[in-house]
Amino acid sequence: MTELQEDYSYHCPYCAALTSVVIDLTGGSHQTFVTDCEICCRPITATVTVDKDGISSFEARKEDN
């Protein structure tokens, strides 16, 4: 059975803390969403590319204001 979600760890672009997010692999091949850092609580824009093997690319950047 194929997993529907995948945990992904990354460094916050503000405070550099290692944090993680759960990615919905059924949400499409290109996903963009905003999440907050678990440590500094600042908003992060995440861009994810998903292929048949799971997450193929992930970018976390400071939220544009």
Domain count, the chain: 1
Number of other CB atoms surrounding residue 14 within 10 Å: 16
Chain segment 29-55, per-residue pLDDT in tens: 999 999 999 999 999 999 999 998 899
3-state DSSP assignment of residue 51: strand
Domain span at 10:
5-62
- pLDDT for 2 equals 60
Least confident stretch, 2-6, 14-18, 20-24, 29-33: 2-6
pTM over 0.85: no
pLDDT band per the 50, 70, 90 thresholds, residue 1: very low
